[in-house]
């Protein structure tokens, strides 16, 4: 967990708290078998002050007033999931709520003075989550989805089930002043994290030495998701293998790119329909 200070226009410094438990930090929050292969159900309760709100993986079940402007938020029991996917955010962020193709709440959160830059993330995320349900022929098992843009978030983004957390630069795009390159970056990161709701969250590796299962599939699917939203970009042609020129290259980038390239090769020689059928069986 980390507490982040941040500012909005014409306001003093504010604070938010957010979790980041991947890969093995859930054990620092509560006693557990902190391995991705072990799954369990969780029921989260968070205590906050009156002028804050909280978020977690599942939908809010109830709020109880305690004393001195403190409140207890209780969340619905989670689906069966790995410990590293448990998440929460406590903040004073603003939000925009939409409805996805299956009638579920889809909400984006960020600083109040940045909220207009979150509209693109809302529309993109809604479209991609519905598309992946059809592509994988596996329903999204949660009743809601939240995406939160956090200043200085340690990871680029995190695919917590039902509560995806992003660095501001990977979720926010200003249509008036933002560049086309930034728009494409935001779209691909959102598509990547939404793909993880299936590859990583629903289907999970036993241990981190099989991380390519999470990252390779999500990196492959991110291009397909963006291609659905922006076919004019031709993103499916952008899946490529990064040439290795030096032994110190980031192994994580190598793993994601190579995994995505191999999966694209398989889809190409098998055909999309056969490949999709095989993925569904797995």
Q: Determine how many CB atoms are found less than 10 A away from the CB of residue 200.
A: 24
Report which of 79, 257, 99 is spatially closest to residue 161, judged by C-alpha positions. 79
- Write down the pLDDT at residue 237: 76
Question: How many domains are contained in the chain?
Answer: 1
> If you search the block for the tokens 């299962």, which residue do you land on?
213
CA distance linking residue 111 with residue 189, whole number of Å: 19
Q: Which residues are tagged catalytic?
A: 193
**196 appears as a binding residue in the annotation:** yes
In this prediction, what percent of the chain has a pLDDT beyond 90?
72
- Report the chain (282 residues): mean pLDDT per 10 consecutive residues: 71 90 95 96 97 98 96 98 98 97 97 97 98 93 98 92 98 96 97 97 92 88 95 81 52 68 82 81 57
Is the pTM above the cut of 0.85? Answer: yes
DSSP per-residue letters across 124-148? HHHHHHHHHHHHHT-----SEEEEE
Yes or no: say if 86 and 42 are a contact pair by the CB < 8 Å rule.
Answer: yes
Q: Please state, rounded to an integer, the average pLDDT across all residues of the chain.
A: 90
Domain range spanning residue 60? 2-281
pLDDT in tens, 190-223: 999 999 999 999 999 999 988 888 898 999 999 9
Bridging pattern class, strands 157-158 and 163-167: antiparallel
**228 appears as a binding residue in the annotation:** no
**At residue 85, what are phi and psi to the nearest 5 degrees?**
-90, -10
Please report, for the domain that includes residue 23, its CATH number: 1.10.390.10
CA distance linking residue 82 with residue 213, whole number of Å: 15
The secondary structure of residue 79, as a DSSP letter, is P
Tokens coding 124: 């993109």
Report which of 25, 5, 263, 50 is spatially closest to residue 160, judged by C-alpha positions. 25
For the chain, how big is the Rg over CA atoms in Å? 19
**159 appears as a binding residue in the annotation:** no
- Write down the pLDDT at residue 123: 98
């Amino acid at each position: 967990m980390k507490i982040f200070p941040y500012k909005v226009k014409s306001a003093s410094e504010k604070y938010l708290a957010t979790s980041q438990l991947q890969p093995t930090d859930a054990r620092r929050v509560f006693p557990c078998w902190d391995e991705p292969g072990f799954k369990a159900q969780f029921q989260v309760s968070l205590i906050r002050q009156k002028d804050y709100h909280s978020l977690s993986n599942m939908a809010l079940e109830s709020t109880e007033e305690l004393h001195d402007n403190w409140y207890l938020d209780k969340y619905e029991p989670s689906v069966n999931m790995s410990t590293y996917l448990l998440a929460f955010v406590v903040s004073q962020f603003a939000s925009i709520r939409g409805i996805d193709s299956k009638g579920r709440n889809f909400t984006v959160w960020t600083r109040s003075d940045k909220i207009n830059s979150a509209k693109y993330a809302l529309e993109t995320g809604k479209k991609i989550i519905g598309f992946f349900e059809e592509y994988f022929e596996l329903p999204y098992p949660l009743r809601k989805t939240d995406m939160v843009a956090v200043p200085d978030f340690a990871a680029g983004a995190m695919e917590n089930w039902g509560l995806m957390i992003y660095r501001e630069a990977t979720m926010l795009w200003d249509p008036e002043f933002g560049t086309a390159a930034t728009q494409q970056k935001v779209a691909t990161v959102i598509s990547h994290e939404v793909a993880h709701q299936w590859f990583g969250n629903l289907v999970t590796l036993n241990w981190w030495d099989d991380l390519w299962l999470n990252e390779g599939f999500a990196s492959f699917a991110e291009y397909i998701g963006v291609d659905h939203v922006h076919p004019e970009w031709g993103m499916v042609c952008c899946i490529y293998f990064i040439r290795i020129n030096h032994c110190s290259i980031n192994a994580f980038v190598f793993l994601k790119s190579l995994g995505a390239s191999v999966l694209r090769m398989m889809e190409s020689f098998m055909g999309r329909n056969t490949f999709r059928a095989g993925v569904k069986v797995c």
